[in-house]
Amino acid sequence: MQSLSQNRTLHRVLILALIVAFMIIASWRFAPAYHSGLSFAHLDPFASDTSSRTNASMDAQIQTLQDQLRSQPDDWQAYSQLGLAYLQKARETGDPTYYQKTEEALDKALSFQSDDYAAISAKGALALARHDFASALEWAEKAKQINPSRTYAYGVIADAQIELGHYAESAQTLQTMVDLRPDMSSYSRISYLRELYGDTDGALELMQLAVDSGTPNAENTAWVRTQLANLYFNMGNLDRAELEYQRTLQDRPNYVYAIAGLGRVHAARGDRSEAIKLLNQAVDIMPMPEFVIILGDLYQATDQQEAARQQYELVETIEKLYRANGVDMDMEIALFNADHDQNLEETVALARKAYANRPSIHGADALAWALYKTGDYQQAQKYSEEALQLGTKDALKLFHAGMIALELGNKVQARQYLEQSLALNPHFSILYPDEARRALETLQP
Amino acid sequence: MRKYFKGVVMSFVVLALMIGLAPASSSAASHREAPLISLDPTADITDFFMFRSYETGQEDKIVLVMDVIPGEEPSSGPNYWNFDPTVLYTFNIDNNKDGNANDIRFEIQFKNEFRGTNADLDLFLSYVALPPITALDGPGSEGLGLRQTYTVTMFNKGKKTVLGRDLIAVPSNVGPRTMPDYESLTAQGIYEVKNGVRVFAGQRDDPFYIDLGAVFDTLNLRAPGTDMLSGFNVHTIALEVPASLLTKDKKSVDDTSQPILGAYAATSRRAVRVLRGDGERDRDDDGDSWVQVQRLANPLVNEAIIGTEDKDRWNALDPTKEKRFVEYYTNPRLATALEAVFGADAAPLLDLRDVLLTYTPGNYQKLSELLRLDISVAPVALASQNPLTVLAGDNAGWPNGRRPIDDVTDVAIRVIGGTNYATAGDAVDANDLPLPEAFPFLSTPWNGRDRIHINP
């Protein structure tokens, strides 16, 4: 009896010891971002420095969690993680059907544990992805109440505030976030806010800092470097933009945002066939609406009407797919329709609805442009002014303002806007730079 | 059997609790989906060591080591791992037992130097053997496309001394063709700087050891265990400092009247004003302000004692604010977790506050989480060091400072587990590579070419 009991004690001791070791070391070693408070290395595909394996490992994670839930159907943390895994899949594949799965898993987690910080903030991130910014704000505020010292929720709050046009509040949120923990997440958001406020140098400086703070080969580093490249592109610095896109692709050869960016650089330089090739490559990897639109515009600009029409139809199909999965695309579609003179009357209504949900400078600009297309220049001017209220150096918005002013007969103003637009970036769009130049010619004193 | 299984499942739940979850950022159409999580390995301190040197003839020196970047795969080229120029790395020391580690501070800051594209390849590579890299500077260093240099600065009660600048970090160990004599590069990377200090920064073998794979395989244990961290590297910053430079009375290990030091390592990033005024710049050369993003003194604390929900806050705070986290020490959640899993009592051998938070056992008025070292305790030669330290009568190891050899996992298990766990452990009792007995005290890193992942 004695030896049996000793044996059992030893067994127990061993297990206990190993569990302790397991917990200590696992959290110690294999959660590289644990100190950011929200990470689960084994679920985070970016924890691996070999990015090519990302998809496989994500699928494996999902499988493991599903198996786990079959044997433990009330494991709320597994549900939380499953939700996050689906959200990540959506990001990697661009397939919005994962949003529904994300939602189901997170709701399940919350049904067991209603105050779980991770699930609640993930609901916020899901709402962001679906462009439901009011609800994203609500979820993230709730997460912040639960734990005001973690930075994750602040990122969601700031993103939502920016999209809702609450710029001063978002500056405060980001100040809190960066004071808590300066890192790539906060630096890149601050860069964006500075960009919106027209502080291009400050935006560049912080996006570079975000890149420099990033982990080599990680997806999020690729993301911020692509943003840095976009900033250079928007300043008309094509060479530097190209360099940063190339650097991104050196680390991650299939990084779709960088491929598309490179395509835009080629288009700007007049090499449209190379641009079409790259955009096709991007769309093949991930048919994001913004890539499909650029591709359609490139076909149109090269007189390939049939190919352009196919891409534009694809936009509508994608939009339906997104909508069916709860993603609000009103603003993007309104702008797309206005640009392509489709369903203009409905488009104004759509843009008004979008603006009501997203009263940001982007929402105001889309509405202004839709109104311009239907000939309501007075109203268009009002919203265009709103779109420029922060002093954003955005060539497209300035072009919109210039064209509206032209129709209203404000020649001096029109010339100023159009000159500014082309000076900022002579390649600001596939469709409009020539139109802007022609308009300017008519305005020469 | 069923109970055993339940225990295993529970342990996963506990693990998840402790590590926390990672909402990943998501992406749909056109709003800006900035990253919501920053994986931040370059600011992630995996280990902090402080001990009296056991190198022959250097016994009057104190060694401070921090390792960053967990789990470096040796072959992860072409970029490899580097120190982070946006991070400020610091060692912070308390020499008057007031718990405030602000008496002496060492700051290490890196710069990247891009030395151009190799002309023969017309392609930027961090490291290339054209010709083989045999030197950190001058002839033989042409293949270092990327070179990191660093500055070491000492602050003594605010008095600033630049100990060394333009020092060169030893690059990652790419392989024998690119770096035919890595030991020589390491030797070149050890600098004697001002005030009798020696420094080293560069890649090393990760000195930590644990059989994690067996644990993850549903506690499929084995004896001997396999070191899960075998074959992985870290980046190391090491300082060897004359004791008289650290003690309050500036006296040596034998003469000082205040032989107890407390210390922690930390990483910080630049503070930023979100919206700048006209003409305002983000960086002043002298007026930089920094925000601490991680600190590490004793092993286990950040990872196993402080709750996930408090980690951001804990990492950002000064150790003197430890009192607000005292519950974690008086009621360790490890013990709670164990009881939840097995229903058995867990009774730490001693009050964790006495070991981790105070210089005077029983006095909990001021609590500060520091690694404490009594430098009057003679160092033990490497060959005679016992990884189980004080539990095996070797008082020159953790928690009296910490040496690379110390098996902190087993020590912690036995201390926190109590008398029932006197022989518990993971059956991995040593690092995969032998530790050297001289500065910088950590082994040569695995090279990228020859390291293969077939254990052991």
Per-residue pLDDT of B115-150, as tens digits, reads 876 555 555 678 887 789 999 999 999 889 889 999
Q: Residue B4 has what pLDDT?
A: 34
pLDDT band with cut points at 50, 70 and 90 for residue A92: confident
Taking an 8 Å cut-off on Cβ atoms, the answer to whether A159 and B34 are in contact is yes
Per-residue pLDDT tens over the stretch A142-186: 999 999 998 889 999 999 999 999 999 999 999 999 999 999 999
More confident residue, B255 or B408: B255
Other Cβ atoms within 10 Å of B279 Cβ, number: 5
Cβ–Cβ below 8 Å for A27 and B18? yes
The pLDDT score that the predictor gives to residue B299 is: 87
**Touching check for A230 and chain B: CB below 8 Å?**
no
CB of A287 less than 8 A from some CB of B: no
pLDDT higher than 80, residue B50: yes
Do B13 and A77 count as a contact with CB atoms less than 8 A apart? yes
| Cβ separation A24–B409 shorter than 8 A | yes
Going by C-beta distance under 8 Å and a sequence separation of 6 or more, which residues neighbour residue A78? Answer: A65, A68, A69, A72, B16
Which residue shows structure tokens 């488009």?
A347
Nearest to B24 among A75, A91, A186 (CB): A91
Give the helix ranges, DSSP H, for B158-310. Answer: 182-188, 212-216, 243-246
- The amino acid at residue A308 is A
How far away is chain B from the Cα of A410, in angstroms, using its nearest Cα?
Answer: 30
Q: What value does the mean pLDDT take over residues A48-76?
A: 68
Average pLDDT of the segment spanning A306-321: 93
ipTM score of the complex?
A: 0.84
Mean pLDDT calculated for residue range B99-106: 96
CB count within 10 Å of CB A404 equals 27
**Disruptive mutation site among B5, B13, B36 for chain A (greatest number of A CBs within 10 Å):** B36
**Rounded to a whole number, what is the distance in Å from the CA of A161 to chain B's nearest CA?**
12
- Mapped onto helix, strand or coil, the DSSP state of residue B65 is strand
CATH of A328-445, one of 3.30.110.30, 1.25.40.10, 3.40.50.300, 3.40.50.1820: 1.25.40.10
**For tokens 């050369």, what's the residue?**
B285
pLDDT for A378: 97
Cβ–Cβ of B21/A37 closer than 8 Å?
no
Chain B within 8 Å of A205 (Cβ-Cβ)? yes
Q: Is the pLDDT of residue B342 over 70?
A: no
A interface test, pick of B2, B39, B317, B420 with most A CB neighbours within 10 Å: B39
Beta strand B61-72 pairing with B87-94: unpaired
So what CATH class is A76-204? Answer: mainly alpha
> In chain B, whose CA is at the least distance from the CA of A163?
B31
Contact call for A35 and B44, based on CB within 8 A: yes
Tens-digit pLDDT profile for residues A215-265: 877 778 888 999 999 999 999 999 999 999 999 998 888 899 999 999 999
Contacts of residue B410 in chain A, CB cutoff 8 Å? 17
Q: Looking at the predicted structure, is the pLDDT value of residue B15 above 60?
A: no
Q: CA nearest B339 in A: which residue?
A: A16
Alpha carbon distance B440, B233 (integer Å): 15
Cβ–Cβ < 8 Å for B254, B242: no
Domain limits, chain A: 76-204, 328-445
For the segment B261-315, what is each residue's pLDDT rounded down to a tens digit? 999 999 999 999 999 877 677 665 445 689 999 999 998 787 678 877 788 889 9
pLDDT at A22: 43
Kindly report the average pLDDT of chain B as a whole number: 83
- pLDDT at position A65: 86
Helices (H), A39-151: 54-71, 76-93, 97-112, 117-129, 133-146
Integer-rounded Cα Rg, in Å, for chain A is: 24
* Closest-CA residue to A379 (of A357, A408, A350, A356): A408
Q: Chain B contact for A361, CB < 8 A?
A: no
pLDDT surpassing 70 at residue A11: no
- What does DSSP assign to residue B438? S
Q: Which residues of A touch B216 (CB under 8 A)?
A: 22, 26
Same fold, A76-204 and A328-445: yes
Q: How confident is the model at residue B76 (pLDDT cuts 50, 70, 90)?
A: confident
* Contacts B75 to A, Cβ<8 Å: none
pLDDT at A66 over 80: yes
User: Between chains, do B30 and A174 touch, taking CB under 8 Å as contact?
Assistant: no
Which A-chain residues 67-126 have CB contacts (< 8 A) with chain B? 68, 71-72, 75, 77-78, 80-81, 84-85, 87-88, 90-91, 94, 96, 99, 102, 117-119, 121-122, 125-126
For B427, nearest residue in chain A (alpha carbons): A18
Burial degree of A445 (CB within 10 A; 0-12, 13-18, 19+): exposed
Q: Is A244 helix (H, G, I), strand (E, B) or coil?
A: helix
User: Is residue A407 within 8 Å of residue A377, measured between CB atoms?
Assistant: yes
A47 has a pLDDT exceeding 60: no
Rg (C-alpha) for chain B, rounded Å, is 23
Overall average pLDDT of the B224-251 stretch: 91
Bridging pattern class, strands B87-94 and B104-114: antiparallel
